[in-house]
Amino acid sequence: MHKGFLVGVVFCAIACGSAWSSPAPSADSELPEQSPQGPLLAGTGLEDGISPQAPQGGGKEAPPLENPFTVKSGLYAGIFGGGAFSNPEYGYSSYPAPVGLSPFTERGGIVNGVGGLLFGYEFAGNKIGDSWDFYWRPAVQLDAFYLGLTAASSGPGYGAPAVPGAIDSKQNFNAGVITVDGLLNLYTPVLTLHFGIGVGGAYISNSSASAVPNGGPASGQNLLGAGINTSAGAFAVEGIAGIDRWINKRWSVFVEYRYLLLTGTNFSYSGNPAVFGPGQVVNQHFDQFTANLVLAGLRYKF
Protein backbone atom coordinates (compact mmCIF):
# COMPACT_ATOMS: atom_id res chain seq x y z
CA MET A 1 0.00 0.00 0.00
CA HIS A 2 2.81 2.44 0.89
CA LYS A 3 4.57 1.52 -2.37
CA GLY A 4 1.48 2.34 -4.53
CA PHE A 5 0.96 5.60 -2.64
CA LEU A 6 4.56 6.69 -3.36
CA VAL A 7 4.22 5.86 -7.09
CA GLY A 8 1.05 7.96 -7.31
CA VAL A 9 2.73 10.93 -5.65
CA VAL A 10 5.68 10.80 -8.05
CA PHE A 11 3.38 10.62 -11.11
CA CYS A 12 1.36 13.64 -9.93
CA ALA A 13 4.54 15.65 -9.37
CA ILE A 14 5.77 14.95 -12.93
CA ALA A 15 2.43 15.91 -14.45
CA CYS A 16 2.23 19.16 -12.47
CA GLY A 17 5.78 20.10 -13.51
CA SER A 18 4.99 19.59 -17.19
CA ALA A 19 1.88 21.72 -16.94
CA TRP A 20 3.76 24.54 -15.15
CA SER A 21 6.53 24.64 -17.80
CA SER A 22 4.08 24.92 -20.80
CA PRO A 23 2.99 28.53 -21.79
CA ALA A 24 -0.66 29.48 -21.65
CA PRO A 25 -2.37 29.40 -25.05
CA SER A 26 -2.95 32.86 -26.64
CA ALA A 27 -6.37 34.01 -27.70
CA ASP A 28 -4.94 34.57 -31.20
CA SER A 29 -3.29 31.19 -31.55
CA GLU A 30 -6.08 29.90 -33.78
CA LEU A 31 -5.76 32.79 -36.36
CA PRO A 32 -3.90 32.14 -39.64
CA GLU A 33 -0.62 33.97 -40.27
CA GLN A 34 -1.08 37.38 -41.95
CA SER A 35 0.55 38.04 -45.34
CA PRO A 36 2.91 41.01 -45.40
CA GLN A 37 1.69 44.06 -47.30
CA GLY A 38 3.70 45.33 -50.29
CA PRO A 39 4.77 48.99 -50.64
CA LEU A 40 2.25 51.40 -52.11
CA LEU A 41 4.58 52.83 -54.74
CA ALA A 42 5.54 50.66 -57.66
CA GLY A 43 9.29 50.38 -57.68
CA THR A 44 9.75 51.08 -53.95
CA GLY A 45 12.11 48.54 -52.43
CA LEU A 46 12.35 46.64 -55.70
CA GLU A 47 15.41 46.01 -57.80
CA ASP A 48 15.30 45.06 -61.48
CA GLY A 49 11.66 44.02 -61.50
CA ILE A 50 11.64 41.31 -58.81
CA SER A 51 8.22 41.26 -57.13
CA PRO A 52 7.85 39.88 -53.58
CA GLN A 53 5.26 37.12 -53.20
CA ALA A 54 2.94 36.48 -50.24
CA PRO A 55 3.97 33.58 -47.92
CA GLN A 56 2.34 30.24 -48.64
CA GLY A 57 1.03 27.74 -46.12
CA GLY A 58 3.57 26.67 -43.52
CA GLY A 59 5.16 30.16 -43.38
CA LYS A 60 7.55 29.54 -46.30
CA GLU A 61 7.92 32.11 -49.09
CA ALA A 62 7.53 31.12 -52.71
CA PRO A 63 10.44 31.89 -55.05
CA PRO A 64 10.23 35.52 -56.32
CA LEU A 65 8.84 36.09 -59.80
CA GLU A 66 10.62 38.43 -62.20
CA ASN A 67 8.77 40.94 -64.33
CA PRO A 68 9.88 41.26 -67.96
CA PHE A 69 10.87 44.89 -67.30
CA THR A 70 12.76 46.91 -64.73
CA VAL A 71 10.60 48.83 -62.29
CA LYS A 72 13.39 51.19 -61.34
CA SER A 73 12.72 54.86 -61.99
CA GLY A 74 15.24 56.74 -64.06
CA LEU A 75 16.53 57.83 -67.43
CA TYR A 76 15.90 56.18 -70.78
CA ALA A 77 16.81 56.85 -74.41
CA GLY A 78 15.66 55.56 -77.76
CA ILE A 79 15.59 55.77 -81.53
CA PHE A 80 12.59 55.58 -83.86
CA GLY A 81 11.53 55.84 -87.48
CA GLY A 82 8.56 55.34 -89.76
CA GLY A 83 6.26 57.14 -92.17
CA ALA A 84 4.34 60.44 -92.22
CA PHE A 85 1.03 60.55 -94.09
CA SER A 86 0.29 64.21 -94.80
CA ASN A 87 -3.25 65.63 -94.92
CA PRO A 88 -4.66 68.16 -97.44
CA GLU A 89 -3.97 71.72 -96.26
CA TYR A 90 -5.17 75.18 -97.25
CA GLY A 91 -3.34 78.42 -97.87
CA TYR A 92 -2.68 81.17 -100.38
CA SER A 93 0.08 82.91 -102.33
CA SER A 94 0.18 86.72 -102.53
CA TYR A 95 1.80 87.99 -105.72
CA PRO A 96 2.57 91.57 -106.79
CA ALA A 97 0.53 93.08 -109.63
CA PRO A 98 -0.45 92.07 -112.23
CA VAL A 99 -1.05 88.56 -110.78
CA GLY A 100 -2.70 89.13 -107.40
CA LEU A 101 -3.86 86.39 -104.99
CA SER A 102 -3.82 82.65 -105.62
CA PRO A 103 -5.59 80.36 -103.07
CA PHE A 104 -4.71 76.70 -103.06
CA THR A 105 -5.43 73.37 -101.42
CA GLU A 106 -2.44 71.15 -100.87
CA ARG A 107 -2.58 67.59 -102.12
CA GLY A 108 -2.72 65.17 -99.18
CA GLY A 109 -1.99 61.48 -98.74
CA ILE A 110 1.72 61.79 -99.53
CA VAL A 111 3.96 59.39 -97.62
CA ASN A 112 7.32 60.66 -96.36
CA GLY A 113 9.98 59.29 -94.04
CA VAL A 114 10.38 60.06 -90.33
CA GLY A 115 13.43 59.48 -88.15
CA GLY A 116 14.43 60.71 -84.71
CA LEU A 117 15.74 60.31 -81.18
CA LEU A 118 14.10 60.47 -77.76
CA PHE A 119 15.43 61.00 -74.25
CA GLY A 120 13.30 60.88 -71.10
CA TYR A 121 12.85 60.20 -67.40
CA GLU A 122 10.27 57.86 -65.88
CA PHE A 123 9.03 58.49 -62.32
CA ALA A 124 7.71 56.10 -59.69
CA GLY A 125 3.98 55.48 -59.85
CA ASN A 126 1.18 53.70 -58.00
CA LYS A 127 0.01 50.14 -58.40
CA ILE A 128 -3.46 49.53 -59.82
CA GLY A 129 -5.60 47.39 -57.52
CA ASP A 130 -3.94 44.58 -55.55
CA SER A 131 -1.65 43.21 -58.25
CA TRP A 132 2.02 44.08 -58.73
CA ASP A 133 1.58 43.38 -62.45
CA PHE A 134 -0.65 46.40 -63.13
CA TYR A 135 0.43 49.94 -62.32
CA TRP A 136 0.98 53.38 -63.83
CA ARG A 137 4.03 55.57 -64.07
CA PRO A 138 4.38 59.16 -65.41
CA ALA A 139 7.29 60.24 -67.60
CA VAL A 140 8.64 63.35 -69.29
CA GLN A 141 10.34 62.99 -72.67
CA LEU A 142 12.24 65.09 -75.22
CA ASP A 143 11.78 64.21 -78.92
CA ALA A 144 13.83 65.43 -81.86
CA PHE A 145 12.90 64.13 -85.30
CA TYR A 146 12.91 64.85 -89.03
CA LEU A 147 10.05 64.40 -91.47
CA GLY A 148 9.26 65.31 -95.04
CA LEU A 149 6.04 67.04 -96.13
CA THR A 150 6.29 67.12 -99.93
CA ALA A 151 3.15 68.64 -101.48
CA ALA A 152 1.71 69.83 -104.78
CA SER A 153 -1.41 71.83 -105.62
CA SER A 154 -3.26 73.67 -108.34
CA GLY A 155 -5.44 76.72 -107.77
CA PRO A 156 -6.90 79.71 -109.63
CA GLY A 157 -4.90 82.91 -109.94
CA TYR A 158 -6.75 86.19 -109.50
CA GLY A 159 -5.53 89.27 -111.37
CA ALA A 160 -6.20 88.58 -115.05
CA PRO A 161 -5.06 89.13 -117.76
CA ALA A 162 -1.64 88.01 -116.55
CA VAL A 163 -2.97 84.67 -115.17
CA PRO A 164 -6.33 83.75 -116.70
CA GLY A 165 -5.96 80.09 -115.73
CA ALA A 166 -4.76 78.12 -112.72
CA ILE A 167 -1.34 78.22 -111.08
CA ASP A 168 0.33 74.86 -110.53
CA SER A 169 2.33 74.94 -107.30
CA LYS A 170 4.90 72.42 -106.10
CA GLN A 171 6.58 72.43 -102.68
CA ASN A 172 9.25 70.22 -101.12
CA PHE A 173 9.14 70.68 -97.34
CA ASN A 174 11.62 69.20 -94.89
CA ALA A 175 10.89 69.75 -91.20
CA GLY A 176 12.93 69.35 -88.05
CA VAL A 177 10.68 69.06 -85.00
CA ILE A 178 11.51 69.23 -81.27
CA THR A 179 8.84 68.59 -78.62
CA VAL A 180 8.65 68.08 -74.87
CA ASP A 181 6.14 65.33 -74.05
CA GLY A 182 4.21 64.39 -70.94
CA LEU A 183 3.48 60.64 -70.91
CA LEU A 184 1.51 58.15 -68.82
CA ASN A 185 2.79 54.55 -68.93
CA LEU A 186 0.39 51.74 -67.99
CA TYR A 187 2.25 48.50 -67.15
CA THR A 188 0.58 45.10 -67.60
CA PRO A 189 2.09 41.60 -67.27
CA VAL A 190 2.70 41.45 -71.04
CA LEU A 191 2.74 44.94 -72.57
CA THR A 192 3.13 48.58 -71.58
CA LEU A 193 0.70 51.13 -72.99
CA HIS A 194 1.67 54.78 -73.17
CA PHE A 195 -0.30 57.95 -73.92
CA GLY A 196 0.72 61.58 -73.98
CA ILE A 197 0.87 65.00 -75.57
CA GLY A 198 3.86 67.05 -76.72
CA VAL A 199 4.43 70.73 -77.47
CA GLY A 200 7.39 72.45 -79.10
CA GLY A 201 8.51 73.96 -82.37
CA ALA A 202 9.53 73.13 -85.92
CA TYR A 203 11.95 74.51 -88.47
CA ILE A 204 10.58 73.98 -92.00
CA SER A 205 12.71 74.28 -95.13
CA ASN A 206 10.92 74.75 -98.46
CA SER A 207 13.23 73.82 -101.32
CA SER A 208 12.74 73.87 -105.10
CA ALA A 209 9.44 75.72 -104.77
CA SER A 210 7.61 76.62 -107.95
CA ALA A 211 4.37 78.34 -109.02
CA VAL A 212 3.73 78.07 -112.76
CA PRO A 213 0.66 79.56 -114.51
CA ASN A 214 -0.88 77.38 -117.19
CA GLY A 215 -2.30 80.30 -119.17
CA GLY A 216 -1.73 83.97 -120.01
CA PRO A 217 1.44 85.91 -120.81
CA ALA A 218 3.31 84.30 -117.87
CA SER A 219 2.33 80.76 -118.85
CA GLY A 220 5.12 78.25 -118.22
CA GLN A 221 7.23 80.63 -116.12
CA ASN A 222 8.06 80.04 -112.48
CA LEU A 223 6.64 83.04 -110.65
CA LEU A 224 9.01 82.31 -107.76
CA GLY A 225 12.12 82.43 -109.95
CA ALA A 226 14.58 79.59 -110.42
CA GLY A 227 15.95 77.34 -107.67
CA ILE A 228 14.04 78.98 -104.83
CA ASN A 229 14.83 77.87 -101.29
CA THR A 230 13.48 79.42 -98.08
CA SER A 231 12.62 78.45 -94.51
CA ALA A 232 10.29 79.38 -91.65
CA GLY A 233 9.47 78.41 -88.07
CA ALA A 234 6.22 76.98 -86.74
CA PHE A 235 4.56 75.95 -83.48
CA ALA A 236 4.26 72.16 -83.02
CA VAL A 237 1.85 70.03 -80.98
CA GLU A 238 1.33 66.28 -81.14
CA GLY A 239 -0.79 63.53 -79.60
CA ILE A 240 0.92 60.21 -78.81
CA ALA A 241 -0.34 56.65 -78.27
CA GLY A 242 1.79 53.49 -78.34
CA ILE A 243 2.56 49.96 -77.13
CA ASP A 244 5.88 48.75 -75.67
CA ARG A 245 7.09 45.17 -75.50
CA TRP A 246 10.05 44.53 -73.17
CA ILE A 247 12.82 42.29 -74.53
CA ASN A 248 14.62 42.14 -71.19
CA LYS A 249 15.07 44.34 -68.12
CA ARG A 250 16.62 47.22 -70.08
CA TRP A 251 15.55 46.99 -73.73
CA SER A 252 12.09 47.33 -75.23
CA VAL A 253 10.61 47.72 -78.70
CA PHE A 254 7.58 49.89 -79.38
CA VAL A 255 5.10 50.88 -82.05
CA GLU A 256 3.45 54.28 -81.91
CA TYR A 257 0.93 56.57 -83.58
CA ARG A 258 1.27 60.36 -83.49
CA TYR A 259 -0.90 63.12 -84.85
CA LEU A 260 1.29 66.14 -85.60
CA LEU A 261 0.12 69.72 -86.09
CA LEU A 262 2.41 72.55 -87.30
CA THR A 263 0.81 75.99 -87.41
CA GLY A 264 1.36 79.57 -88.58
CA THR A 265 3.87 79.13 -91.39
CA ASN A 266 4.80 81.88 -93.86
CA PHE A 267 7.40 81.82 -96.65
CA SER A 268 8.76 84.74 -98.69
CA TYR A 269 10.41 84.62 -102.13
CA SER A 270 11.94 87.08 -104.56
CA GLY A 271 9.43 87.19 -107.41
CA ASN A 272 10.44 86.43 -110.98
CA PRO A 273 11.68 89.80 -112.32
CA ALA A 274 10.59 88.83 -115.84
CA VAL A 275 6.99 88.87 -114.62
CA PHE A 276 6.91 91.36 -111.72
CA GLY A 277 9.98 93.51 -112.35
CA PRO A 278 13.00 93.80 -110.04
CA GLY A 279 12.79 93.73 -106.23
CA GLN A 280 9.27 92.29 -105.91
CA VAL A 281 8.40 89.74 -103.17
CA VAL A 282 5.99 86.80 -103.30
CA ASN A 283 4.51 85.56 -100.00
CA GLN A 284 3.06 82.12 -99.33
CA HIS A 285 0.97 81.38 -96.25
CA PHE A 286 0.02 77.89 -95.04
CA ASP A 287 -2.80 77.69 -92.50
CA GLN A 288 -1.27 74.56 -90.99
CA PHE A 289 0.51 71.31 -91.70
CA THR A 290 -0.91 68.10 -90.26
CA ALA A 291 0.36 64.55 -90.59
CA ASN A 292 -0.35 61.07 -89.25
CA LEU A 293 2.89 59.45 -88.07
CA VAL A 294 3.23 55.66 -87.78
CA LEU A 295 6.47 54.79 -85.97
CA ALA A 296 8.47 51.90 -84.56
CA GLY A 297 11.50 52.14 -82.31
CA LEU A 298 13.89 50.75 -79.73
CA ARG A 299 14.20 52.06 -76.16
CA TYR A 300 16.90 51.50 -73.49
CA LYS A 301 16.33 52.11 -69.80
CA PHE A 302 19.43 53.01 -67.79
In CATH, what number is assigned to the domain containing residue 185? 2.40.160.20
State the pLDDT confidence band at 71, using cuts at 50, 70 and 90: low
Residue 66 lies in a domain: no
Domain annotation covers residue 21: no
Report if residue 238 sits inside a domain.
yes
Decide if 150 is inside a domain.
yes
Asked, for residue 35, whether it belongs to a domain, the answer is: no
Structure confidence at residue 76 (pLDDT):
96
Question: Is 83 part of a structural domain of the chain?
Answer: yes
> With 70 as the cut, is the pLDDT of residue 210 above it?
yes
Q: How many domains does one find in the chain?
A: 1
Residue type, 153: S
Neighbours of 271 (CB within 10 A): 24
Given a cut of 60, is residue 105 above it in pLDDT? yes
Over 50: is that where the pLDDT of 41 sits? no
The reply to whether 14 falls in a domain is no
Residue 56 has pLDDT above 80, yes or no: no
42 in a domain, yes or no? no
Average pLDDT, the chain: 75
Which is higher by pLDDT, 142 or 5? 142
Asked if the model's pLDDT at residue 75 lies above 80, the reply is yes
Q: Beta strands of the chain (E only): which ranges? A: 41-42, 50-51, 65-66, 74-86, 90-94, 101-105, 111-122, 125-126, 135-148, 151-156, 166-187, 192-213, 228-246, 251-270, 281-301
* Domain hosting residue 150, numbered range: 74-301
